[in-house]
Structure 1
């Protein structure tokens, strides 16, 4: 006997949640990178709960919807935030703090991962291309700044990161606003 049943997915789009988690945390961290304030509990709290937790939740929801790209991207960048905060707090428990070369390697491998994601956006909308190209540039600049120890590179990277975060904020807002008004208000 043949099964003629199908299940309709009526769950909400998790993309804006993941994008806002990424956007707001990225903007705040990169205001730090640009030199305006030190890493503090505000950045760490956002990193764990919104950058890490909310993105991971959005990623699992994307995965369940069959969106490989969204699932892998959100879960991975959520894990990035959790690992980054861990590198900041682990020395409090006797784990050695990474030096510039170690952080450079960490950030470069995230840049490589992001570049692979950027290649996938070439088949998508302009905002996605801008988001992932600016994020790859951000990671590579942060890696270079850590490898060389040059504050100027890190501060420039901070400005790139602020722009990257606002691109993600725009994308999340566009998805929500366009859906609510059932037409394109903010183009992607």
Structure 2
């Protein structure tokens, strides 16, 4: 009896993680610079939300699917769609076709994303410390933003939330850049804190 020949295929596709993390991180930093009052909400933030935070993360999610990474697929595709829906929430009312979401609706939207992110944070407990920080700080950010929608908060609270968002975005940028530099150097240049 002869055994069938087995063929092993090696995955030689690029790691989409850095793309997704950088798209998320840079867009988050730029939006939260607006939240701390550095500039008004403008076309730069919305364009980043559509093209880099939105489309680039969806592409990264599809690439993670190809790599059989359920966590990466779910995270990047979901957060890419988060950015696209957030831009939609800003732009759709300007068409006059539909009214703007009120504070309660926005709080519900942000709470749903906070719950989702909290559960995804639990998933990072199997990954590395850098991703744990990204997802934990993002969970906190969503709940702070939700509270800001219905809590009648001061501008100081909104600025605090913006600074927390900047830290979250910078942590995602760090993780993405660490993945790129560590892969290129074939050693740890920027540590990710493996579990």
| Bin for the TM-score computed over the shorter chain | over 0.9
Show the 5 A alignment for 1:102-121. Answer: 102-121=105-124
Alignment gaps of 5+ in structure 2: none
- Of 15, 20, 23, the match for 1:21: 23
Q: RMSD value over aligned CA atoms?
A: 1.2
1:184 pairs with 2:188 = yes
- When normalised by structure 1's length, the TM-score is 0.96
Paired with 2:184 and 2:93, the residues of 1 have a C-alpha distance of 46
Which residue in 2 is equivalent to 1:161?
Answer: 165
Cα deviation, 1:119-149, whole Å, max 9, x if unaligned, reads 1111221111111000000000000000123
- The 8 Å contact of residues 100 and 149 in structure 1, kept in 2 or not, is answered as no
Q: Deviations over 1:85-143 (max 9, x none)?
A: 00000012221101111111111110000000001111221111111000000000000
Residue of 58, 78, 81 corresponding to 2:80:
78
* Equivalent residue number for residue 128 of structure 1: 131
Establish whether residue 96 from structure 1 lines up as the match of residue 92 from structure 2. no
Q: Does 1:143 align with 2:126?
A: no
Per-residue CA deviations over 1:132-183 (Å, capped at 9, x if unaligned) read: 0000000000000001232333221110000000000100111010111110
Q: Tell me, yes or no, if the aligned pair for 1:34 and 1:156 is still in contact at 8 Å.
A: yes
- Superposed displacement of residue 3, structure 1: 5.7
Task: Give runs of ≥4 in structure 1 deviating > 4 Å.
Answer: none
- Relative to the length of structure 2, the TM-score reads 0.93
SS in 1 for 2:181: helix
- Range with bigger deviation, 157-166 or 32-41: 32-41
- 1:142–1:153 CA contact under 8 A, matched in 2: no
- 1:87 counterpart (77, 86, 89): 89
Flag the structure with larger Rg.
2
* Alpha-carbon distance in structure 2 between the residues aligned to 1:101 and 1:3: 61
Q: Which segments of 5 or more consecutive residues in structure 1 lack a partner in the other structure?
A: none
